[in-house]
Amino acid sequence: MTQNTTTGRIDWVDYGKGICIILVVMMHSTLGVERTLGTESWLHGFIDWARPFRMPDFFLIAGLFLAARIKRPWRSYLDTKVVHFAYFYVLWLTISFALKGPGMVSSQGLEHTALSYLISFIDPLGTLWFIYMLGIFFVVAKLAERLPAWSVWLVAAVLEMAPVHTGYLVIDEFAGRFVYFYSGYVLAPWIFQFADMVRKASWAVVVNALTIWAVVNAWFVFNGYATLPVLSLALGFIGAAAVVAAAVMLTRMNILAGIRYCGAQSLVIYLSFFVFMAVSRAVLIKTGIITDAGLISLIVTAAGVIGPLVLHAMVRNTPAKYLFVRPAMFRLKPDAQAGGSKIATTG
């Protein structure tokens, strides 16, 4: 395990989270542009290629450090692993509806808009569902702490392979994603050993392995096999391992530090990227200066990644820091050393 002595963070973990959050923003940006223009862009194939591993790796990394925290008393655990995410979910859900509410009211009426807002507390809003599910995953992992890990993992794997399609996002995403989060928790020692093995391996071996994986993953995706039971689970884990390997290689080369920074601030990006994505998409399409859907999608992706980081830098030392820092009044157990605040983080 290689730790950055300056920040105290593990660089390859931040690189991995950075890769994932950029892929998530790119997916939403591309699909949004395509939906608005009514045409498919040349980026569509790439986001399809990343689908098998994009969210599995994100959840796997989210569970990596759970072993060091799961023994905490329930009150402390709920504060950092449930209330923390609940605060940001409610805050940014409310901001989202405040921004799009006037349009919804004019087109669908006040009653429907209010109902949609309330329903979002039990059926999470599109781009915010990840942090909603994290809170649930942390609670389930804590409740299952005394059960044999292999039995919990087996049930989670069966749920992923079922597959479950109820139409209710919480149930469907729990069934499809919990196995990866739980694997990050119980397999953490082996994941870090794998990362260390990649760090020591020759460049040729790692590059060739990643190339083979990329081609094989593409073959399964574009031939329609990637969503089949068993295969989807296998591709999810193999893809997650590939992202870990790529993250370790970036750490070894010490390049593209921007990706690492995005990973360190992944929740900041996740919370607010939809604002910058929507605004940049609307401006680009309305002006018509650029007509290529793929290029528009790339620009919107950049806005969705960079915009939140700029916003965070602007507000972090102002009263508006509550956008990304949880105030003391929303803590179950105020931390005097941290001044009653905790910055948004998935770690």
- What string of DSSP letters covers 18-79? HHHHHHHHHHHHHHHHHHHHTS--TTHHHHHHHHHHHHHHHHHHHTTTGGGTTTS-HHHHHI
Q: Which residue segment(s) compose the domain that 244 sits in?
A: 11-343
296 in a structural domain = yes
Mean pLDDT of 235-253: 96
Decide if 64 contacts 263 (C-beta within 8 A). Answer: no
Measured between alpha carbons, how far is 303 from 266 in angstroms, rounded to an integer? 15
27 in a structural domain = yes
3-state secondary structure of 194: helix
Which pLDDT belongs to residue 340? 45
Q: Pick the range with the lowest mean pLDDT from 112-121, 227-236, 309-318.
A: 112-121
Which pLDDT belongs to residue 2? 56
Measured between alpha carbons, how far is 33 from 24 in angstroms, rounded to an integer? 14
151 in a structural domain = yes
pLDDT exceeds 70 at position 295 = yes
Number of structural domains (the chain) is 1
**Could you tell me the pLDDT band of residue 125, with boundaries at 50, 70 and 90?**
confident
Which pLDDT belongs to residue 126? 76
2 in a structural domain = no
Which pLDDT belongs to residue 108? 82
6 in a structural domain = no
3 in a structural domain = no
pLDDT tens for each residue of 67-83? 989 999 999 999 999 99
Name the DSSP letter for residue 319.
Answer: G
* pTM score, whole prediction: 0.90
**Could you tell me the pLDDT band of residue 225, with boundaries at 50, 70 and 90?**
very high
38 in a structural domain = yes
Looking at the chain, how many residues does it have?
347
pLDDT tens for each residue of 259-275? 999 999 999 999 999 99
- Residue 263 sits at the vertex; the CA angle it makes with 74 and 239, to the nearest 5 degrees, is 90
Measured between alpha carbons, how far is 2 from 254 in angstroms, rounded to an integer? 12
268 in a structural domain = yes
Say which residues have a Cβ less than 8 Å from residue 104's Cβ, sequence separation at least 6: 97, 112, 113, 116
In whole angstroms, how large is the CA radius of gyration of the chain?
20
Say which residues have a Cβ less than 8 Å from residue 37's Cβ, sequence separation at least 6: 285, 293, 296
Q: How many other β-carbons are positioned within 10 Å of the β-carbon of residue 205?
A: 10
**Could you tell me the pLDDT band of residue 89, with boundaries at 50, 70 and 90?**
very high
